[in-house]
Structure formats: structure tokens, C-alpha cells
Amino acid sequence: MDKLKDSGYPSEGGHVEMRSMVSENTIGFGQAVKYGTDTEAQVMAWDGAASTDIFAGVAAIGPSGDFENDQFDESVPVPVLRKGQIWVKISEDSGGVSVGDTAAVLSDGWFDKTPLSEATNGVYGVEISGSEFLSAAAAGGTALLSLNLPSEKTVKQL
């Protein structure tokens, strides 16, 4: 796979807005993140644990990352993409995404398209209205995502 299409790489083009935060747990490059205990300074990997979780953006590759394991370890700076384009992993539980689809995050912290199928499994995903996939990908692949936060985010029980 072309290294520029591995998840977590911001793409050139358009306005980019990042926020520097600190990881509360292990976060994969290109993984969705939610606000942590200190909502002004910390993020955690999206894990679908609570309906009150707030989507904060996508963890972009940065110098404090563990490049051998494609992740940020706990208690290190994480650049969180809020606006712009970034390559993200499509969840293994996804049916794949197409150009123009609006993005959603599954409970594994990886991406899918909307609408999410609601159930009562006690885990949560989030639909992100200010988003659009700019390339197509099958489950387990990577796709280019355009993100424009803040926007409406709807948490759904999966």
C-alpha cells in the first residue's frame, strides 16, 4: 500500500485545523478520538463506551507517535485533526465506503458510513454530519476523509 494512504496522514489541499492534546490511552494513527477526563487538554481513543462521549476529531500522525506500532502511547502529545483531509482506516465491521458518503465511527474507533444501524448492544458509534469520504474503500482499507468540525454529531447505540 502507498505509505501516503496509511491511516493518519493528513492530505494536502484546503484549510487544515489541528488541536494539540494529550493521550489518556493508546490511540492509533488515524483513529477517531473523544474528549478525555480533562476536555480541554486530553483525548482518548473512541471506544463506544458511553452515550455521553463527544467526538473530538482524528489522531493525525505526529512526532510523538510510536511509528513501529502506528500509535500514540499514553501521556504523549497528539495532533487532533478537526478540519481538513486525512487518510483513515475503514472498520473491519464496515460494508465499505463510497465517494460522497458521510462518515460515522464504530465502537472500535475506526470509520464507516452513515446511517449507523441502531441496536441495544451497549456500545456507541457517532455519525458526523460535517464529513465526506473523498475516496472509496472496502472494510479494512483506507479512505480519504474530509472533516469540518464543529458540526452536528449524533451518538447512536449499536
Model's pTM, two decimal places? 0.91
* 104: CB partners within 8 A, 6+ apart: 111, 112, 113, 114, 115, 116, 125, 126, 127, 128
Retrieve residue 141's grid coordinates. Answer: 482499507
> pLDDT tens for residues 79-120?
999 999 999 999 999 999 999 999 999 999 999 999 999 899
Residue 77: half-sphere exposure toward Cβ, Cα within 13 Å: 7
> pLDDT tens for residues 9-34?
666 666 789 999 999 999 999 999 99
Alpha carbon distance 29, 119 (integer Å): 28
